[in-house]
């Protein structure tokens, strides 16, 4: 939603909220939450490249919103992402190969 940058400090969350459905079962909800959290991680990382331009033209971004607290905030989003996806795997009974992969993936952003 291109207009989201003008009215929100976290425009990627606007997309996430538009896709959310109250009828979702636990597994899709966990996957959705994990993916939404990961979207915040990479969107904020890329948004830091445009901070000066965002200020000039008056649009919001998660990089401006989080400011100097970006690293701990993104650490929290990364943990939420890994946690949501891992819990979804647990709910459907995935085994040790899945958890091994999630452990490797979880160590990368931290």
CB of 47 closer than 8 Å to CB of 54? yes
pTM score above 0.85: no
Q: Domain ranges in the chain?
A: 7-107
Tell me the per-residue pLDDT of 4-62, one tens digit each, with 9 for 90 and over.
Answer: 666 677 777 776 776 766 667 889 889 989 999 999 999 999 999 999 998 999 888 89
Tell me the per-residue pLDDT of 86-95, one tens digit each, with 9 for 90 and over.
Answer: 999 999 999 9
Instruction: Provide the pLDDT for residue 9.
Output: 72
């Amino acid at each position: 939603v291109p207009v989201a940058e003008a009215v929100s400090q976290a425009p990627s969350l606007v997309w996430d909220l538009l896709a959310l459905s109250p009828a979702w079962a636990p597994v899709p909800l966990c996957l959705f939450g994990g993916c939404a959290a990961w979207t915040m991680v990479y969107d904020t990382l890329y948004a830091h490249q445009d901070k000066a331009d965002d200020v000039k033209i008056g649009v919001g971004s998660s990089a401006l919103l989080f400011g100097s607290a970006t690293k701990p905030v993104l650490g929290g989003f990364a943990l939420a992402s890994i946690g949501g996806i891992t819990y979804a795997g647990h709910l459907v009974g995935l085994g040790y190969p899945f958890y091994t992969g999630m452990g490797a993936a979880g160590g990368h952003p931290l």
